[in-house]
Structure 1
Amino acid sequence: MLRLSGVGLRLTRLTLSDFRNYPHLAWHPGGAAGARIAAIFGPNGGGKTNLLEAISLLGAGRGLRRARRADLARREGAGGFAVAGRFVGSEGEFSVATGVPAPATPAAEPRRIFRLDGAALQSQGDIAARVALAWLTPPMERLFQETAGGRRRFLDRLVAALEAAHGGELAAHERALAARMRLLRTHGADPAWLAAIEDAIARHAVAVSAARGAVLRRLNQALATVTPDGFPPARADLLCPIAARLAQAPALAVEEWLRARLREGRSADRASGQNGVGAHRADFTLHDAARNLPAAQASTGEQKALLIGVILGHAALVARVRGFAPILLLDEPMVHLDARRRAALVAALAALPAQIILTGTDREPFLPLADAATGWHCGGGGLIADPGFLPAADARGAAAPLPL
């Protein structure tokens, strides 16, 4: 049975203004009892995933849908939106807010703003140091039938939850790759300038690859001991020539090797319009470790079970390393699971000290959690508390729009 330790991170209040289908909303997920689990159910299109997306925006990154800023604002609104959360962590209470002000003109596209305890932030790193989130959504079930880019993003979210600097290294690596390609397209570009950019690529690529490899090694150790009962044991493997060299040589030697590869590949990369080497070429695989079966060859239900095992195992690892478990956002987690695994998942969730917010179309699969969770009917831009779960007040509308 899965067990976590450490002080949990809790979202105690979520407030929305003009976000997706919510004009205004003030919601206390834990209700009067401060429950760790909130189960949200209702018809498709009611706004269940929108709530999870709003919470995901309170962490570092672009959220669980990676949506454009313009798509997050309510269609009938003025063009801006705001999301705010009040959290309790190991160091006490704090608030995070994000959003986009309504544009001054139709052509304007204001930047997304972040605030921590009311103070404006220039970097998301300060948020990453306070808030850890993990999520599972239905599109992720196709992770191993789609492109390597989606798998890298999934992996990098796992890494960033443990290494707060990882997002910054990734962003710097991407900026350096883009700068190199611009220079390669410029005839007569200064070789010294190009060499400096390639040096930056090498340094950031080695840092990113080392972090990915280290987290996957620790994750595999966690998965070997904390996989929920009835779920297949998962094993993750990094496919990356940089990480492979790091296993055999010091980081400085790998940086020099990568700089040489970049120099040698300039003509080919100019012709192809792509950077041929770097951390952006990595991939990873997931196996059912008991059968050595790749996830890509497993059934839909087995893939879902493997991913759930990874998310819960990663939560255990985060709790062990950072002292608090991440908030888990599970969108339709029961779909594609058989009755035995649904029961095992309910037991695992009930045992977690982490805060968990999960969704589904039907109420019945969540009833075994009724003594440990608040239950919410979702629709019409609000949430109605279900009396069959722990006590909670309805959440329909905030008194006023959130200021940014």
Structure 2
Amino acid sequence: MALDRIALSHFRNHRQTELGGTAQLNLLVGENGAGKTNILEALSLLAPGRGLRRAALSELAGPDGGGGFQIGASLNEQGHESARIGTFVEPERPGRRLVRINGAEASAQSLGEWLAIGWLTPAMDGLFMDSAGARRRYMDRLALAIDPTHARAVSRFETALRERNKLLEDSRDATWLEAIEAQLAEHGAQVTAGRAALVATLADELTALPDQPFARPILTYRPGGPATREELRAELARHRNRDRAAGRTLTGPHRDELEVVMSGSGQPASSCSTGEQKAMLIAITLAHAALAAEGRPGVLLLDEVAAHLDPVRRAALFERLRIGRAQVWLTGTEPAPFEDILGEAAVWRISRGTAERL
């Protein structure tokens, strides 16, 4: 299956852009600022969540769209349309993102039942040097692409966490705390289970890969609290005084960490070279794409990834993408780095928010 007949209307700098006749490998070339990444961002919004930039809806609408925009695509199987999916914001309701599947209103979460979308962008290059919170969001995004229900558990956990912190601050009666801690423990255990399952399956997938040409990472999930609902609930009750003094909850999935070290050397990813970190990110992205595409169509968005690879790693990347199950979208400022795939890829030149098929 693949996305085709993609249409963007009033989305960022794309007033009206259509992409048809897609392939397994799809390439967008053009100068910086032309709108290549905007197309990838539009495709990322055909999945649950806030897209690859995590931008506010107000930032996504083009200057002449009145605050609204539309993104639509056909999901094709063997050349025949099996579904039409889309997401949009109406000018009269600029703060609400809507979804339609085959013409009927649907939830954003239901998009995950149709497509598994993953991405790698230059903004992610600092993941291993970033905060633990950034790596938790990374785990949750990857988990969501495999299990669309994961987002609901995270959202409910975060809501309950805010409520408990507020109750601690207000020194409310213990009965209130017991009730909210029960919710926090239930949803927290679900979040922990989702993250643990993600890292375990990713680790298995990565173990089967060679150490070269992409440095193979070893992943370890470090939970920030007990894994089971009962244990987490008891831990929260036991440490109320400590948490009240701290002004926040100090136990739970919001304290989780994803530990990454490079296979062979055992060196923490945060201490590795920029090239090694990029190679490990690519390895994780490819492994995740293989997992996410099981049972559902997969789409992989790779923004400016080839330009920073040497010829050996670039050739290895293209070969992995060829044999993968996901439809791939790549961007670059010029065709030269993609010479090995130009004969098989669908290619567009992007310029000032327009797309020309080459």
**TM-score interval w.r.t. the shorter chain?**
over 0.9
> 1:81-96, aligned counterparts within 5 Å?
81-88=69-76, 93-96=82-85
Q: Which residue of 1 aligns with 2:101?
A: 116
State the 1:46 CA deviation.
Answer: 0.4
The match for 1:138 among 106, 115, 122 is: 122
> 1:256-335, aligned counterparts within 5 Å?
256-319=230-293, 322-324=294-296, 326-335=298-307
Using the size of structure 2 for normalisation, the TM-score is: 0.93
> 1-side partners of 2:60 and 2:210: how far apart?
35
* Secondary structure of the structure 1 residue equivalent to 2:321: helix
> 2-side partners of 1:134 and 1:76: how far apart?
30
The match for 2:27 among 31, 39, 43 is: 39
> 2-side partners of 1:161 and 1:102: how far apart?
29
The match for 1:196 among 175, 179, 198 is: 179
RCO greater where, 1 or 2, for CA within 8 Å and sep 6 or more?
Answer: 1
| 2:347 is aligned with 1:375 | yes
Q: Which amino acid aligns with 2:149?
A: A
> 1-side partners of 2:245 and 2:88: how far apart?
40
> 2-side partners of 1:89 and 1:59: how far apart?
18
The match for 1:222 among 205, 208, 222 is: 205
Deviation per CA, 1:197-216: give whole Å up to 9, x if none: 10111111111111211221
Q: Is the 8 A contact 1:223 1:313 kept in 2?
A: yes
> 2-side partners of 1:304 and 1:71: how far apart?
28
The match for 2:167 among 176, 180, 183 is: 183
C-alpha distance 337-330 of structure 1, shift in aligned 2 (>3 A): same
State the 1:229 CA deviation.
Answer: 5.4
State the 1:228 CA deviation.
Answer: 8.4
The match for 1:101 among 90, 106, 110 is: 90
> 2-side partners of 1:273 and 1:51: how far apart?
42
Q: Which amino acid aligns with 1:236?
A: L
> 1:16-31, aligned counterparts within 5 Å?
16-28=8-20, 31=21
> 1-side partners of 2:248 and 2:99: how far apart?
33
Q: Is the 8 A contact 1:228 1:345 kept in 2?
A: no
State the 1:298 CA deviation.
Answer: 1.2
Unaligned runs of 5+ in 1: 1-8, 247-253, 387-404
> 1-side partners of 2:283 and 2:133: how far apart?
21
The match for 2:134 among 132, 150, 164 is: 150
State the 1:286 CA deviation.
Answer: 1.7
Q: Which residue of 2 aligns with 1:51?
A: 39
- Percent identity between matched residues is 39
* Secondary structure of the structure 1 residue equivalent to 2:306: coil
> 1-side partners of 2:59 and 2:290: how far apart?
34
Q: Is the 8 A contact 1:228 1:344 kept in 2?
A: no
> 1-side partners of 2:15 and 2:238: how far apart?
55
State the 1:102 CA deviation.
Answer: 0.8
> 1-side partners of 2:349 and 2:341: how far apart?
15
Q: Please provide the CA RMSD for this pair.
A: 2.0
| 2:331 is aligned with 1:353 | no
Q: Which amino acid aligns with 2:89?
A: V
Count of matched residue positions in the alignment of Structure 1 and Structure 2? 357
Q: Which amino acid aligns with 1:305?
A: A
> 2-side partners of 1:164 and 1:76: how far apart?
34
* Secondary structure of the structure 2 residue equivalent to 1:161: helix
> 2-side partners of 1:64 and 1:263: how far apart?
37
> 2-side partners of 1:126 and 1:70: how far apart?
23
Q: Which amino acid aligns with 1:165?
A: T
Q: Is the 8 A contact 1:315 1:325 kept in 2?
A: no
State the 1:227 CA deviation.
Answer: 5.2
State the 1:60 CA deviation.
Answer: 0.5
Q: Which residue of 2 aligns with 1:160?
A: 144
The match for 1:71 among 59, 66, 79 is: 59
State the 1:92 CA deviation.
Answer: 6.5
State the 1:75 CA deviation.
Answer: 2.2
